[in-house]
Homo-oligomer: A and B are copies of this chain.
């Protein structure tokens, strides 16, 4: 299969964790052994935890029983730091991945953050090729390709570059000050209302996203009608997002559950630009929110239920570009970008 085939697998894996990785970008990594067999398809999943390359290298090495036994003896039944894994791999890889190929959606990092540099690990393990979708242009993390090339590793850039750019665009917008997106839960015939639409797995994913947000924007009408809690009980239950109620009306029934969730701020304002003061902002809502969607909300994450109903659809004239599609336990979701907006990043 072509380099594009493996890179596509890496990009799709990374999209599964989009948003959840900030302040790190969503990155995916596929590793094939010296014969071309796929050993792992992995991604960076959460800030502070292993980078995509480290996850993929660890998963790849666990295919080998000699490594697996040693790993289990050391780490089984206990939590471990990414840096511990990194060191363990350096000491125990025994060149099992010599001449392997790594397909990475973003140039491997060259800096020591919470984990040591991935480029160095690929070099030490004697990878033959590192295929990269897009260059890391940051001053801090960039330069990984140079480390690899100097060590004689073949580096290929630009494989599925457009898809690689789309994958990292939300992160770059966040880095530039703000990434705002609208999350919807819809039936496949466009119904947002009338109770729970999507399945539990979809709602759990939304709660996981809420935990990493800087701000969640919701309409005044939704607050009044749905009387929501806007918490994260289907995920860890911690870190409820700060909430901005986008409304001209300033007074709400304070018995509405969202006001009594601890460790959160609630703002009520008709000035939607207040949302731009936060970096990672999710809009949730229905018809009213979509019709009044600010221009800075460039992306949509829509969860779809395959159960059709007879209520009215949400209505808006908006051309979207499909970026990624995934299934989630019988429901499915899509990441879309508005065609009428631009993050102005490239």
18 A/B residue pairs, CB under 8 Å, sorted by A: A1-B38, A1-B41, A35-B37, A36-B37, A188-B302, A188-B334, A189-B190, A306-B320, A306-B321, A306-B334, A307-B318, A308-B320, A310-B317, A312-B312, A312-B313, A322-B330, A322-B331, A325-B325
Task: Say whether A253 faces chain B, with CB atoms less than 8 Å apart.
Answer: no
Q: Which residues of B contact A306 (CB under 8 A)?
A: 319-322, 334, 336
Q: How far is the CB of A198 from chain B (nearest CB, A)?
A: 12
Q: Considering the chains assembled together, what is the distance between the CA atoms of A32 and B35 in angstroms?
A: 11
* Set of chain B residues within 8 Å of A317, measured between Cβ atoms: 308-310
Per a CB cutoff under 8 Å, which of B37, B39, B188, B332 touches A32? B37
Once the chains bind, are B325 and A327 in contact (CB under 8 Å)? yes
**Interface of A toward B, CB cutoff 8 Å:** 1, 5, 32-33, 35-39, 41, 186-191, 302, 304, 306-322, 325, 327, 330-332, 334, 336
Chain B residues with CB under 8 Å of A304's CB are: 188
Smallest beta-carbon distance A115→chain B, Å: 25
Nearest 4 Cβ contacts at the A-B interface: A190-B190, A36-B37, A189-B190, A35-B35
Indicate how many identical chains form the complex. Answer: 2
Complex formed: what's the CA distance from A256 to B266 in Å? Answer: 60
Chain B positions within 8 Å of A336 at CB level: 306
Residues of chain B lying within 8 A (CB to CB) of residue A39: 1
Do A307 and B319 touch (CB < 8 A)?
yes
Residue of B nearest to A324 (CB): B327
Tell whether A313 pairs with B190 under 8 Å between CB atoms, given A319-B308, A321-B306.
yes
B302 to A308, Cβ gap below 8 A? no
- C-alpha spacing A316/B309, complex, angstroms: 5
Task: State whether A310 touches B316 (Cβ < 8 A).
Answer: yes
- The answer to whether A189 touches B313, judged by C-beta atoms less than 8 angstroms apart, is yes
Closest to A35 in B: B35
Q: Which residue of B lies closest to A6 (CB)?
A: B38
Is there contact, CB below 8 Å, between B312 and A308?
no
Task: Determine the distance from Cα of A285 to Cα of B177 in the docked complex, in whole angstroms.
Answer: 47
A307 to chain B, nearest CB (A): 5
Asked if A35 contacts B38 (CB within 8 A), the reply is: no
Question: Within 8 Å CB of A334, what residues of B?
Answer: 188, 306, 332
A309 / chain B contacts, CB cutoff of 8 Å: 315-317
Task: List, in ascending order, chain B residues with CB within 8 A of A312's CB.
Answer: 312-313
Which B residues lie within 8 Å of A38 (CB)? 1, 5, 36, 38
Residue of B nearest to A322 (CB): B306
Query: B residues within 8 A CB of A310?
Result: 315-317
